[in-house]
Amino acid sequence: MKHFEVAVVGAGLAGSIAALALARGGRSVALVAPEREIVDKRTTALMDQSIRFMERLGLWDEIRPSAEALSTMQIIDGTSRLLRAPVVAFRSAEIGLDAFGYNIPNEALISVLKKAVVAENNITGVANAATRIEIGIDRVTITLENGEEITADFVVGADGRGSRTRESAGVAVRSWSYPQTAVVLNFKHTLPHRNVSTEFHGESGPFTQVPLPGLRSSLVWVVEPSEATRLTSLSLEALSGEVEKRMQSMLGKVTVEDGVQAWPLSSMTAARFGKGRAAFIGEAAHAFPPIGAQGLNLSLRDVMVLTEILCSRADRPVDARAGDSFDRRRRIDVVSRTASVDLLNRSLLSDFLPVQVLRTAGLHLLSGFGPLRQLAMREGVEPGRGFSALPLFLKERLSVRGRGRAAKDRS
């Protein structure tokens, strides 16, 4: 029976990155997942904090040629409602960054990660599904599809929404669905995107264009399920016309590429994110609609914290309560991000006038008040960064107000 310090169950994006980070942090890692070809036409926008993490892992140089910078992110109210919000543009230069992050095809990410995993000496690939996971006080025992067993000091569940790892730990989930489907595609266009990502807010959800290298962009178009069925049944030529019309021809003539996909939207959050000798990351712990570029960025923050906990003293045995530490450290971030994405999505769907008023007022504030917009941008790029700047922001505002009053008194 082979023994490892850490077993990572699931070799998707989150699982592969976790295995690499833990292995390079000094732990012996088993990456448990059956071999399968993954066809994923989606793209992922990694924010600045995530890009810096990929740099530390030595992965960014290989990923960069396939990525495109996101320097401006603008929101346009595309609804036909009485109360409409102004256009809000977030520019990375306002907070001293060349780009908020980069948009990367998932296929490129998967390819780079596969190669890095194979080359990593501290990772042993176990090309079998885990059929049984027993999480004990002293160790974890994993039974494989071929009947063999491996043991580990700690297990990381990166095995998706139906996580066997999470279920084996006896951790429940709360899940809910939305009356929406995301139509996902890539398209060519005749005008340059200039590294601008545009999100149109419509009554059924967002329509989000994100730059790719050259005269190409990716698109996530959230619509009602019946509309998703109609759109995906169109010819590429007809669908190109629909996309161009929805974009108001901002990028000129549109040509949709082959590989259009549709994904029903739902959300899920685990009751715990770690327990004893187990932790759950990525969609084994949390999942929500593709709004605000939060999905994989949240998963990478899972990996960053887990690496700190398990590798800060890699010369020592893994603590039996490491999963509990992970749960405590991830709870605020995961719960707050899940709630904010859910609230934003529901505000787009709501016809309730007070909700529309609040959403419109919030976008007006962001559009017209630079310091607040900068706080929001910092928080979006790196959670905690915006809030940590809040005391200084309030101090400066009060100081400016105080100087104004003093000048008024002198006059």
Sign of CA dihedral 294, 295, 296, 300: positive
Task: Quote the CA–CA distance of 92 and 384 in Å, as a whole number.
Answer: 17
Report d(CA 181, CA 174) in Å as an integer. Answer: 20
Residue 377's SS3 state is: helix
CA atoms of 155 and 53, how far apart (whole Å): 22
SS3 101: strand
Q: Is the pLDDT of residue 396 over 80?
A: no
The count of residues in the chain is 411
Reported as type and span, the H/E element at residue 218 is strand 216-223
Which positions ≥6 away from 296 have C-beta within 8 Å?
13, 14, 44, 46, 50, 282
* 406 or 120: which leads in pLDDT: 120
Count the neighbouring beta carbons within 10 Å of the beta carbon of residue 181.
23
329 by Cβ neighbours in 10 Å (0-12 / 13-18 / 19+) ranks as middle
Q: Residue 351 contacts by C-beta under 8 Å, 6 or more apart in sequence?
A: none
pLDDT digits (tens, 9 = 90+) for 111-150: 999 999 999 999 999 999 999 999 999 999 999 999 999 9
Neighbour count for residue 274 (Cβ, 10 Å): 32
- Residue 282: left if φ>0, alpha if ψ -120 to 50, beta else—which one? left
Q: What is the pTM of this model?
A: 0.85
226-235 tens-digit pLDDT: 999 999 999 9
Nearest to 202 by CA among 73, 338, 56, 350: 350
Average pLDDT of 263-274? 94
If pLDDT is split at 50, 70 and 90, which confidence band does 368 have? Answer: low
pLDDT at position 208 is 92
Q: What is the pLDDT of residue 404?
A: 55
Listed residue (117, 138, 137, 141) closest to 19, CA to CA? 117
Whether the CB-CB separation of 252 and 215 falls below 8 Å is answered with: no
**Long-range contacts for 134-141 (Cβ within 8 Å, ≥24 apart)?**
134/168, 135/168, 135/169, 135/275, 135/276, 135/277, 135/278, 136/277, 137/276, 137/277, 137/320, 138/320, 139/3, 139/277, 140/7, 140/277, 140/278
Q: Radius of gyration of the chain from Cα atoms?
A: 23
Q: How far is CA 209 from CA 66, 138, 199, 246, 254, in A?
A: 17, 49, 6, 11, 12
Give the pLDDT band (50/70/90) at residue 350.
Answer: very low
